[in-house]
Amino acid sequence: MKKLMMVFLALGLLAGCTKYASQEQLDELNAKKQEVATLKTEITQTQEQKATLEAQRDSLKAEIDKLEAKIQELEAKLK
């Protein structure tokens, strides 16, 4: 009796499994692929924005350094 139940269970499992993905699964996979592509694009854009902001920061820091040097030079002349 146990063996017969095991055979039916095994046949049920095998019959329930398919070799290929269903259309629903393929659609879901394609949606996930599209989502990944969109996120990769967003990451690239964010990295480009970060690089632009870092370049602006460096430029402003260089300008600040020049102005601080000019201030020190003028203060030295006043003494």
Question: How many structural domains compose the chain?
Answer: 1
Asked if residue 8 belongs to a domain, the reply is no
Band of the pLDDT at 11, cuts 50, 70, 90? low
For the full predicted model, state whether its pTM sits above 0.85: no
* 27 and 35 Cβ atoms separated by less than 8 Å: no
Is the pLDDT confidence value at 14 over 80? no
Asked if residue 2 belongs to a domain, the reply is no
Asked if residue 1 belongs to a domain, the reply is no
What SS3 class is residue 19?
Answer: coil
DSSP tag of 73 = H
Tell me what pLDDT residue 31 has. Answer: 97
Q: What does the pLDDT look like over 28-70, one tens digit per residue?
A: 999 999 999 999 999 999 999 999 999 999 999 999 999 999 9
Asked if residue 62 belongs to a domain, the reply is yes
d(CA 66, CA 12) in angstroms, rounded, equals: 79
Spatial neighbors of 29 by CB under 8 A, at least 6 apart, are 21
Domain that holds residue 38: 28-79
Asked if residue 47 belongs to a domain, the reply is yes
Is the pLDDT confidence value at 17 over 80? no
